[in-house]
Amino acid sequence: MLILYYQRLYLNFPFFKVANENPLLAIYPSGNMSKPLHPHVLIYYTIFLMLYQYSLLKILIHLCQHIFYFAYTVLILIERLIIMPIVSTNVPYHSNMLRQNLNLLLRTYPFLNVQTVGNSVLGTPLYVIKLGRGSKKVFYSASIHANEWITSSVLMKFVEDYCISYVRNSNLYGYSVRNLFNSTSIYIMPMVNPDGVDLVTGNLAVSSPSYQKALHIANQFSSIPFPNGWKANLNGVDLNLQFPAGWEKAREIKYSQGFTRPSPRDFVGYGPLTEPESLAIYNFTLSHDFRLVIAYHTQGKEIYWQFQNFLPPNSRAIGEQFADSSGYVLAETPYNSSFAGYKDWFIQTYNRPGYTIEAGMGENPLPISQFDEIYEDNLGILVLGAVL
């Protein structure tokens, strides 16, 4: 071991020379082979060499660490400037895409919070995303009706844009997302009816028992196109007619229209909150103190803000700002559709602002080609809902 150090000593300090005949005993100053160094001096120089080499190694290690951290920081900055989109907005959106998007969003933006608040008829998880940590709480939901799946794309795109703006410390619809993150907690249930969405978008195998069950129900209502006319869950119950806010009146109206049994649409069920999806959103709402809720539907470019004679404070004023930002019409809910909805129950229970947004225009399911217009129209509503 000492021989190795002596050789290194000579390589690092050429004014020394190691004697070939006995390197353990004789190290001579270069050019003077008559006077070997004293053994004590040899020990001192050995210690010096060890310290010198250790210092160089230590410096090299620290240098490599700094280079690594610098490179990592540069990569993070590049990633923040050039962010590849995660949420697909050019294809029909179904439950598998939702799950994949949530996994990628969680890995990319660890400040997101995602929880499961229940399961559908087929056992599909019902996810809720939380944005922010503020004391003010609002709640947005989408796709309670199966053939209105484009609303899930809208809310998921909003989640992604919110995250990007937070990372970049930029604004969304003119508001600082960092400030919004600290002031408001936005809860989002992007797909209330995943089984129905999968049926309409073709994500449910035709040969599966669930598809065949839905087909059997649909065959009894031949005037409703299948699967495009399907709004219900896989039990044939309209989830937005399941809430204890005039449910009996909703049953009376829908029964008179012929929807007295499981159907692709408009069957209220055999009682309120009989379905796992409606019960999940009901219980989740009860466990939080939401100051405002927005339920996304399609279509009509209208905003419904009332339930019967309930007029929550500021609800009309907020609705007018929603209308101004979107170009939609602030309207009263049509009588035959004004009972047992989620928004209706929230207003009745809490006397706080609740809104149904009928996004886009046309026949459900709206084509994905409308996405850009719908998102642009509704971005202001989604931000203002957390601000006002």
| Residues annotated as catalytic (active site), given as ranges | 358
Main-chain dihedrals φ then ψ at residue 339, nearest 5 degrees: -135, 150
Q: Distance between CA 143 and CA 145 in Å, rounded?
A: 5
Those residues whose C-beta lies under 8 Å from the C-beta of residue 379, and which sit 6 or more positions away, are: 158, 161, 172, 173
With beta carbons less than 8 A apart as the criterion, state whether 196 and 233 touch. yes
Main-chain dihedrals φ then ψ at residue 362, nearest 5 degrees: 140, -150
Q: What is the DSSP pairing of strand 171-172 with strand 329-331?
A: unpaired
Q: Distance between CA 227 and CA 196 in Å, rounded?
A: 9
Q: Distance between CA 243 and CA 335 in Å, rounded?
A: 16
Query: Considering only CA atoms, which of 144, 145, 146, 175 is closest in space to residue 158?
Result: 175
With beta carbons less than 8 A apart as the criterion, state whether 339 and 308 touch. no
Query: Considering only CA atoms, which of 282, 354, 277 is closest in space to residue 121?
Result: 277
The vertex-383 CA angle with 289 and 288, nearest 5°, equals 10
Q: Distance between CA 141 and CA 93 in Å, rounded?
A: 15
Bridge partners of residue 307, in order along the sequence: 310
